[in-house]
Amino acid sequence: MATIPPAHSSSSLPAYTPVAPDGVSGNMSSAPHALDTLDEPVIVTIKRDLSNVWKKLQQVLVPSGSREVLRDWDLWGPLMLCLSLAIILSLSAPKEQSAAIFTGIFVIIWCGSAVVTINAKLLGGQISFFQSVCVLGYCVFPLVVAAAVSFFVNFLLVRLICGAVGFAWSTFASVGFLADTGLANRRFLAVYPIGLFYFVIAWMVVLS
């Protein structure tokens, strides 16, 4: 009688161990949490945005020419500064002119920023449209402070001094941020519209 050879047990086979490719994790939760803000509470998002706005305002107060403000641009800060300046100047104006002043500030700041940005782009500036608008908007901050001081201290000499200091500070800060955008050979053509832009706003602060 022929003997049947015993069947090989499955335990005698080498166990298969899957190997993940180098640098790839099979755990989906290993992705950076900093990039996932869909489930983030609204209050946390607001705090983070306000913190970023404050950091940019600090860079305007102490101009260092840092490129961080260009890489991480936003329009929330410029919008709040524009709104603050429009409210202050409209409250300072006569009642029949307050609406026109409020609207005019918005038009001057946003249209002026767009014109200055387009001019820089035409001159060959290596900066995006919204990055430039962000810088120009944040650099209005010294003029907002000047308008607030002039609102509470209503003397012509004080308004002149505040307007001049705010104009110089805003221009210096914006030129410092935009100095590294490839416009060294056409610096005057790029700086002149910036100075004119802030001069118009400073003049409105003085006239208020």
Q: Which pLDDT band holds residue 53 (cuts at 50, 70, 90)?
A: confident
Please tell me whether the overall predicted TM-score, pTM, comes out greater than 0.85 for this model. no
Q: In this model, does residue 114 exceed pLDDT 80?
A: yes
In angstroms, rounded to a whole number, what is the distance separating the alpha carbons of residues 179 and 164? 22
Q: Which pLDDT band holds residue 160 (cuts at 50, 70, 90)?
A: very high
Report yes or no: 106 and 82 within 8 Å, Cβ to Cβ: yes
Domain ranges of the chain: 75-207
In angstroms, rounded to a whole number, what is the distance separating the alpha carbons of residues 81 and 65? 20
Residue 94 has what pLDDT? 85
Which CA distances in Å does 84 have to 2, 36, 90, 121, 143?
101, 32, 10, 29, 11
pLDDT in tens, 63-99: 765 666 666 788 889 999 999 999 999 998 888 888 9
Share of the chain above pLDDT 70, in %: 75
